[in-house]
């Protein structure tokens, strides 16, 4: 039986494909026509002879999805729209997911699905500062007030859970934290906001970051696919450090600057930024949208209010973090020879 990976040529997708190949999986990889695939092709060249089929296409055609699912017993669903307008992101993420789910149900087989979601689905705005985030933290109640990607991922997760409840689609959900690796050039928005003129609005302060190295995250997803209950169970993915002390936003920004990020840093407390955002909302209304703050008060509370992160349930499945957090940081910020 085969495993289907959608979004197989993405940053996380390539890492997942490698972990699956190392485990001896038989793979079918969905790759969008014309998309960048040099890293994927290089990986497959290193694993010449592996049981891998590359399918070029999209999830737009129901007949094509039926062919993709032929012989498949597990789907790792990573594909999601990340660019364009909010409507484009929602449409690209949700329409493809509906077609995939309909094809799974129509197959008449219990095809298991691992949905890769996001930490952005959590309803952190309503929590107190320094609240602990775990898999039981309530989901966002006002997604329209979040960024378009978080909104789309929340609706995607709700969609999959609805089909799990109504049609019995075997489902496990993975929610990665901040994924990092050598391909990442900018600090996470949880650290701060890049503004015009090389100005960086540093709002994260000493907040903990829920970091996960891309290879570690990929291995966690592989373990979920092999060991999860598929009863709608959920697994956060956050790397653990040797001493249990999380990497902070301040440390993360410093590492990026040491690696060559050229910005002028303007530190600002999240509470101050929230007040500024409120004033910006008034300014936007007064000028009929010609002037506005770069963020809303709600976005400030969801992004820069300090939070803590509990040990993930994925470790109970037998997941062992392949790279230490220290080695992962070294690889992310290693200078090219």
Give the pLDDT confidence score for residue 284 in this predicted structure. Answer: 63
Rounded to an integer, what distance in angstroms lies between the CA atom of residue 280 and that of residue 181? 35
The answer, as to whether pTM is greater than 0.85, is: yes
Give the pLDDT confidence score for residue 288 in this predicted structure. Answer: 65
Give the pLDDT confidence score for residue 276 in this predicted structure. Answer: 86
Give φ, ψ of 88 to 5 degrees: -65, -45
In the chain, the number of structural domains is: 1
How many CB atoms are located within 10 Å of the residue 11 CB? 18
Task: Tell me if residue 263 falls in helix, strand or coil.
Answer: coil
Give the pLDDT confidence score for residue 283 in this predicted structure. Answer: 61
For residue 191, tell me if it sits in a domain.
Answer: no
Q: How far is CA 62 from the centre of its chain?
A: 26
Give the pLDDT confidence score for residue 167 in this predicted structure. Answer: 98
Contact 181, 332 (CB under 8 A): yes
Whole-angstrom distance between the N-terminal and C-terminal Cα of the chain? 42
For residue 221, tell me if it sits in a domain.
Answer: yes
Q: Which residues of the chain have pLDDT under 70?
A: 81-86, 183-185, 281-284, 286-293, 335-337
For residue 171, tell me if it sits in a domain.
Answer: yes
Q: How far is CA 141 from the centre of its chain?
A: 19
Q: Which domain holds residue 120?
A: 2-185+210-242+309-328
For residue 236, tell me if it sits in a domain.
Answer: yes
Tokens describing residue 251: 């440390």
Contact 132, 237 (CB under 8 A): no
What CATH number corresponds to the domain at position 172?
Answer: 3.40.50.720
Tokens describing residue 106: 């129509």
């Amino acid at each position: 039986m085969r495993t289907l990976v959608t979004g197989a040529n993405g940053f996380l997708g390539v890492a997942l494909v490698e972990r699956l190949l190392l485990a001896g999986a038989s793979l079918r990889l969905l790759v969008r026509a014309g998309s960048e695939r040099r890293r994927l092709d290089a990986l497959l060249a290193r694993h010449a002879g592996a049981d891998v089929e590359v399918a070029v296409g999209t999830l737009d055609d129901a007949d094509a999805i039926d062919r993709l699912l032929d012989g498949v017993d597990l789907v790792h669903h990573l594909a999601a729209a990340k660019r364009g307008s909010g409507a484009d992101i929602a449409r690209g993420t949700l329409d493809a997911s509906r077609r995939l789910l309909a094809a799974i149900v129509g197959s008449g087989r219990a095809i298991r699905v691992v949905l890769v979601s996001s930490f952005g689905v959590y309803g952190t705005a309503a929590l107190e500062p320094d609240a602990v985030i775990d898999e039981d933290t309530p989901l966002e109640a006002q997604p329209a007030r979040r960024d378009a990607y978080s909104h789309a991922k929340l609706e995607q997760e709700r969609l999959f859970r609805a089909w799990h409840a109504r049609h019995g689609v075997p489902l496990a959900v993975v929610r990665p934290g901040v994924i990092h690796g050598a391909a990442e050039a900018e600090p996470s928005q949880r650290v701060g906001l890049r503004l015009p003129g090389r100005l960086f609005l540093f709002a994260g302060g000493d907040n903990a970051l829920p970091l996960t190295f891309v290879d570690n995250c990929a291995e966690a997803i592989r373990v979920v696919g092999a060991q999860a209950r598929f009863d709608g169970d959920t697994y956060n993915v956050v790397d653990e450090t040797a001493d249990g002390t999380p990497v902070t936003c301040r440390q993360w920004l410093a590492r990026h600057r040491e690696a060559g990020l050229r910005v002028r840093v303007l530190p600002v407390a999240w509470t101050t930024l929230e007040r500024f955002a409120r004033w910006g909302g008034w300014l936007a209304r007064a000028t009929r949208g010609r002037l506005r703050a770069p963020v809303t008060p709600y976005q400030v509370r969801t992004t820069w209010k300090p939070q803590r992160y509990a040990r993930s349930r994925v470790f109970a499945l037998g997941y062992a973090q392949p790279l230490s957090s220290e080695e992962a940081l070294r690889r992310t910020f290693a200078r090219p020879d």
